Amino acid sequence: MAASASASAARPLAGDSLTIHVSSRPQLAMVSALPRSSPPTWRLGLGRPARLSTRSPHARSVRCLAAGGGLAPEMRATLDKVVASHKVVLFMKGTKDFPQCGFSHTVVQILRSLDVPFETLDVLANEALRQGLKDYSSWPTFPQLYIDGEFFGGCDITVEAYKSGELQETLEKAMCS
Amino acid sequence: MGVTKEDVETAITSSLSPSHLVVTDTSGGCGASYEIEVVSEKFEGKRLLERHRMVNTALAPHMAEIHAVSIKKVLTPAQAQPQPEPAADKAQA
């Protein structure tokens, strides 16, 4: 996978070189904490997320990271910021207004119908982001929905949770936190 | 060469030993898209997200060649019992 690599190969993914088109600007204030010019001096222990962020303690990392060993630390740190930058973040194919895939479209429709503010990122516009997210979330497909900094699921899970009311509950909780 | 329905069935059977498994090829024959229903004891006590992860893990070797997987049902045998299989009807349609 593209994101697996030695420190030097990982550098193109480092913080500010990763162009991410978000539907509105994420707060990138904390990105300055990223090691920008110096190569990473630390390596990830197997599967444990490196938490650079000093953000709220409930900005939990993804639960299942056992398979995420191939992710460059910079990419992980960047994604930590991105998923925490908004209450609801959807990584999808295409954009809110022009989804490029039926599954992505479905999740956009659900979020719209619930009248919840959400940000989207187009993984088709950024191959590094697309590959990095698969490792980061330990999830092989898109869309990927993050609520309150935590991976919620893909299309099937979102649809099922929408039907059962669990999605609404989770969103409500996130909005109040 | 794409992934066959049998490949998907074998992968899931060997890692999840399902008591019920329906794999539907929704790709129109090219092998790139599947719908899956699984009932397995191994889902006992697992949340939906974890169950999906288990299925994803089982399919991991094939995922590079599959474009889309839709996991319709991941149930425990106990959950599968009380419902008079509305899902099964759909799958056979």
A155–B70 CB contact, under 8 Å? yes
Is residue A42 domain-resident? no
Longest CA–CA span in chain B (Å) reads 40
Q: Does A140 reside within a domain?
A: yes
- Preceding peptide of A143 cis, ω within 30°: yes
ipTM of the complex: 0.75
Q: Quick one: pLDDT at residue A27?
A: 44
User: What's the pLDDT score for residue B81?
Assistant: 82
In a domain, B92, yes or no: no
Domain range for B18 is: 5-78
A161 touches chain B (CB under 8 A): yes
- Which tens digit of pLDDT belongs to each residue from A57-74? 444 444 444 444 578 999
Residue B90 falls inside a structural domain: no
Say if A38 falls within a structural domain. Answer: no
The residue of chain A with its CA nearest to that of B53 is A139
What are B51-63's pLDDT values in tens digits?
A: 999 999 999 999 8
Helix (H, G, I), strand (E, B) or coil at A116: coil
Alpha-carbon dihedral angle through residues A98, A136, A151, B64, given to the nearest 10 degrees: 60
Split at pLDDT 50, 70, 90, the class of A147 is very high
| B89 inside domain | no
Structural domain boundaries, residue A138: 7-26+60-176
Contacts of A141 in chain B (CB under 8 A): 63, 68-69
| CATH number for the domain that contains residue B19 | 3.30.300.90
The CATH number of residue A165's host domain is 3.40.30.10
Q: What is the pLDDT of residue A13?
A: 45
CA distances from B34 to A95, A143, B28, B66 (A): 25, 16, 10, 8
Mark which residues 10-39 of A lie under 8 Å from B by CB.
none
Burial class (CB in 10 A: 0-12, 13-18, 19+), B92: exposed
Residue A16 has what pLDDT?
45
Which pLDDT value is given to residue B27?
Answer: 83
Cβ of A160 and B69 within 8 Å?
A: no
Write phi, then psi, for A102 (nearest 5 degrees).
-60, -35
Work out the mean pLDDT of chain A and round it to a whole number: 75
- Cα distance from N-terminal residue to C-terminal residue, chain B: 27
In a domain, B88, yes or no: no
Domain contains A124 = yes
List pLDDT tens digits, range B1-21. 578 999 999 999 999 999 999
Asked if the structure places residue A47 within a domain, the reply is no
What value does the mean pLDDT take over residues A71-87?
A: 94
Crossing angle of helices A155-164 and B48-63, rounded to 10°: 160
pLDDT at A142 exceeding the cut of 50: yes
Q: Please indicate whether, in this complex, the C-beta atoms of B69 and A103 are within 8 angstroms of each other.
A: no
Domain count, chain B: 1
**Do the domain assignments include residue B87?**
no
Query: Within a domain: residue B42?
Result: yes
C-alpha distances in Å from residue A24, one per residue of A82, A96, A118, B51: 12, 11, 10, 33
- In chain A, the number of structural domains is 1
Residue A102 has pLDDT above 70, yes or no: yes
